A and B are shown apart, each in its own frame.
Chain A
């Protein structure tokens, strides 16, 4: 029976970061995953492949719709879906291969198989060939999440699919209905829409990407609609039969013909067959692993991180959890600021947010000043044909401290980063406005939005 200082169950961004950090700190570490490759959902079937598809499909959309306006004559533009998907697979292979090299170099033992607790310190790992028993002083549950299934229309992998399938349709579906107007649904909906599908987004709530401010969502919805996505909000899906998805809105029946239905209504913490009861690990009322402020579960020596615990189900949040837990286990002072987890929708344009939104601030009766700057007034955006959207900075009215930011625009996911950094150091909107931003860049809009908080933006009235 092999014994370790730390065993991590799940090799997603939370788990592998935890394992790597612990190995850096001198611990003897094992990393267990059911998949033969490292990287979990994110690298294998989530963030990374979807980004590859988004990038390729943007090129396709540009070649078809916009190249001519730039004076580029391409002749006939056609899709080679097999190559298109192969590139995505290569992107995934490159990423997971890199992780395998890192794991080896850091002397992290990688065990392939599904793990089950037999006690708080021992695990049974059932691989394809053999079953191992391993033990460790510390075990981290990093088993992530799985797509939520609608009970009345279960995944069949053919017509009713999850994101796992929607990154690898063998052909472009003629009509794709996406249930759920969140990040995953909009990103994959965008991909297939660009490739020629007729895509309808069916959202239960009154707006898509509900966590964002109303004004951002309004503008975002308009842009997506202009791109060809049909967006149906406030619609409750009732079933799927004979190629038609049915829904209800205000008592009215809605029908959406669909070749394929992507159900992207959320993800659930994945703790199936882990044998948590053997370890004494309890779940909370939402079936998430119950943890304290240091991510310790109810069982001594057992920790949990990432999607499987409360908090946003985001890879970068899981990574921070993983690094902090590794540091805590090694007796160091880990640090996570759960208040400053940025969230991004990787459509074109992207939507990014961090901290407190304007709507949330107003709902909480907080006195804030809001600064906005449109990309339409940004030189680089005009040159690049990326003038959709704007930057919004929300700052405390009294102290000018940045409380949050929301960005709708090309590359918003990259732009949000500097706001997070300013916020991490307690920066004010003025600090943002007084920090030099290179010209000409889209990031100047962030600086200007910072200045706009005190109504002193240079390139706006």
Chain B
């Protein structure tokens, strides 16, 4: 009995995605828990793994739009390692060597003829023959499901046409440029979702931004003084982010209105401190959430951020890692931004933007001195947060960073 490989449920708001990549080939013998495919959904890119060992038969092509719960492959446990009896008396059965996928020069003569006449690459067809080979019947079936394939039966051998463009969605750009001047690439679901959410946030929230600046010399001195001991003890560097996370938790306690969100006609006040920390990956921005920041040590915060960042960049992040934040910190300073207005991450009500640290002349006690300064920005949803609260919150953050002793004393 073949076991169906389905797109796993990813969370309430995710119904579909793109099966971006197969890690296995048709007819491969897979091990239990072996990663089978990369799934790109609106929110995250994740991996699907094999529930059981056996020979796999792929049912959708890479790049196909798939729904949650859709069967994308089947695993025949009888064909792979499981072909050996369960209790082999002498030694445990070893999985058979993976069957080689079909390549063009191992296709049968009838398959080769059909491939040439229809333009269908046998390598893209799921084979039902021995070792996953594509049979004539498989290719005939593929021909039926691909009416757009090149015409059959023409006297002249058909030439694979490179000029046939893929059907593009309706374009807003009236005068597309020739291909050498532009490259057109379909947005990944993640990118599409980012775009949608950013626009939605600006439409729905009454968003505005307040600014302040922070003298970083206090935090920098602390880092310089304790860095070595910190690394020695915790195996992770003491960064700026943990200070800001702690400062934000402190400020959220002082100004609980920020730790709230609108749900229809209801205001939800959150009594927990799960802080999202934006991480840039090559697939787009992701915001893994560090849970219960109020009860974490600085080192734990640093470790969790580092772990989440690694998972996000490796595409191994799960939906659970991204859900449930009450507030977000984003650090545009990593890339050198002096000042920006971040967009809040709905349904959260505010986001803190960190920026680059630059030495600037500032007036301290009537003297012009050079200090490492950072602009900080708080974008907030004016429907939930009043200007006074937002400004107070940002001042609390500024004060805590400039004088981290406040975090201990709690003022």
Q: For the complex, what is the distance from the CA of A330 to the CA of B91, rounded to whole Å?
A: 7
Tell whether, in the assembled complex, residue A430 and residue B109 are in contact, meaning their CB atoms are under 8 Å apart: yes
A426-B130, A434-B110 given; A138·B89 CB < 8 A: yes
Is B81 close to A, CB under 8 A? yes
Q: Does A398 contact B (CB under 8 A)?
A: yes
Establish whether residues A398 and B110, one from each chain, have CB atoms under 8 Å apart when the complex forms: no
Residues of B contacting A328 with CB < 8 Å? 84-85, 88, 93
- Chain A residues with Cβ below 8 Å from B198 are none
B128 contacts chain A at the CB level, 8 A cutoff: yes
- Chain B, residues 87-125, CB within 8 Å of chain A (1/0): the string is 011111111100000000000111101000000000000
B137 touches A400 (CB 8 A): yes
- In the complex, chain A residues whose CB is within 8 Å of the CB of B92: 331
Interface residues of A in 383-399 (CB under 8 A from B): 396, 398-399
Q: Which of A76-84, A165-173, A240-248, A332-340 contacts B (4 or more CB under 8 A)?
A: A332-340
| A331 pairs with B110, CB closer than 8 A | no
Tell me whether B391 is interfacial, beta carbon within 8 Å. no
Contacts of A137 in B (CB 8 A): 89-90
Q: Is B133 an interface residue (CB 8 A)?
A: yes
Chain A residues contacting B93 (CB-CB under 8 Å) are 328, 331-333
Question: Contact: A428 with B90, CB < 8 Å?
Answer: no
Q: Which single member of B91, B113, B140, B141 contacts A331 (CB below 8 Å)?
A: B91
Bound-state CA distance A430–B95 (Å) is: 34
In the assembled complex, how far is the CB of residue B275 from the closest CB belonging to chain A, in whole angstroms?
A: 52
Q: Contact between B108 and A333 (Cβ–Cβ < 8 Å)?
A: no
How many B residues touch the partner, as a band? 20 to 34
**Complex Cα gap A48–B314 (Å):** 65
Please give me the residue from chain A that is nearest to B78 by CB atom: A293
Produce 1/0 per residue, A26-66, CB < 8 A to B: 01000000000000000000000000000000000000000
Tell yes or no: A401 within 8 A of B by CB: yes
Q: In the assembly, what is the distance between CA of A424 and CA of B80, in Å?
A: 18
A428 touches B108 (CB 8 A): yes
How many whole Å from B314's CB to the nearest CB in chain A?
Answer: 34
* With A331-B93, A427-B135: A400-B110 Cβ-Cβ less than 8 Å: yes
Would you call the interface of chain A mostly helix, strand, loop, or mixed?
loop
Instruction: Please report the total number of A residues contacting B with Cβ < 8 Å.
Output: 30
Minimum CB–CB distance from A366 to chain B (whole Å) comes to: 14
A154 to B85 alpha-carbon distance, docked (Å): 43
Closest to A435 in B: B109
Q: Which of B59-93 contact A (CB under 8 A)?
A: 80-81, 83-85, 88-93
Q: Does B43 contact A (CB under 8 A)?
A: no
Interface of B is mostly: loop
Contact B85 A294 (CB under 8 A): yes
By a CB distance below 8 angstroms, the chain A residues around B88 are 328-331
Q: Does A296 contact B (CB under 8 A)?
A: yes
Also in contact, A401 and B136, with CB within 8 A (given A137-B89, A137-B90, A330-B90): yes
A152 at the interface (CB under 8 A from B): no
Residues of chain B within 8 A (CB-CB) of A331 are 84, 88, 90-94
* B235 at the binding interface (Cβ < 8 Å): no
A325-354 contacts to B, CB under 8 A, are: 327-335
CB of A27 within 8 A of CB of B90, answer yes
- Give the CA-CA distance A301 to B87 in the complex, in Å: 10
B136 touches A399 (CB 8 A): yes
Q: Does A124 contact B (CB under 8 A)?
A: no
Residues A301 and B89 in contact, CB atoms below 8 Å apart: yes
Contacts of B111 in A (CB 8 A): 431
Whether A149 sits at the interface, judged by CB under 8 Å, is no
With A333-B93, A399-B135, A400-B137: A427-B81 Cβ-Cβ less than 8 Å: no
Contact of B130 among A327, A398, A425, A431 (CB under 8 A): A425
Q: A213 near B: Cβ within 8 Å?
A: no
A294, A328, A332, A333 — which one has the most chain B CB atoms within 10 A of its CB? A333
- Tell me whether A5 is interfacial, beta carbon within 8 Å: yes
On chain A, the residues within 8 Å of B81 by CB distance are 333
- Write out the residue numbers on chain A whose beta carbons fall within 8 Å of the beta carbon of B133: 425-426
Distance in angstroms between the alpha carbons of A335 and B128 in the assembled complex: 17
**A398 near B83: Cβ-Cβ < 8 Å:** no
Task: Tell me the bound Cα distance from A27 to B91 in angstroms.
Answer: 11
A328–B141 Cα distance when bound, in Å, is 36
A327 contacts which chain B residues (CB < 8 A)?
A: 84
List residues of chain A with CB within 8 A of the CB of B84.
327-328, 331-334
Contact assessment for A398 and B137 in the assembled complex, using a CB-CB cutoff below 8 Å: yes
**Quick check: B140 and A332 within 8 Å, CB to CB?**
no
Chain A nearest CB, measured from B94 CB (Å): 6
Rounded to whole angstroms, the CA-CA distance of A137 and B91 in the bound complex is 12
Q: In the complex, what residues of B have CB within 8 A of residue A399's CB?
A: 135-137, 140-141
Q: How far is the CA of A425 from the CA of B83 in the complex (A)?
A: 18
CA distance A246 to B80 in the complex (A): 57
In angstroms, Cα B79 to Cα A334, docked, is 10
CA distance A407 to B172 in the complex (A): 66
Q: How far is the CA of A62 from the CA of B182 in the complex (A)?
A: 82
Question: Does A426 contact B135, Cβ atoms closer than 8 Å?
Answer: yes
Is the CB–CB distance between A334 and B83 below 8 Å? Answer: yes
Residue of A nearest to B81 (CB): A333
**Cβ contacts under 8 Å, A426 to chain B:** 128-130, 133, 135, 137
Partner of B90, one of A329, A334, A430: A329
Q: Which residue of A lies closest to B29 (CB)?
A: A333
Contact of B113 among A138, A332, A398, A434 (CB under 8 A): A434
Question: Which chain B residues have a beta carbon within 8 Å of chain A's beta carbons?
Answer: 80-81, 83-85, 88-96, 108-111, 113, 128-130, 133, 135-137, 140-141
12 A-B contact pairs sorted by A residue (CB < 8 Å): A137-B89, A328-B85, A329-B90, A331-B93, A335-B83, A425-B133, A426-B137, A428-B110, A428-B136, A431-B111, A431-B136, A434-B113
* Further pairs besides A333-B81, A401-B135, A426-B128: 8, Cβ < 8 Å: A331-B88, A334-B84, A426-B130, A427-B135, A427-B136, A430-B109, A430-B136, A431-B108
Q: Which 3 A-B pairs have the closest CB atoms?
A: A399-B137, A426-B129, A434-B109
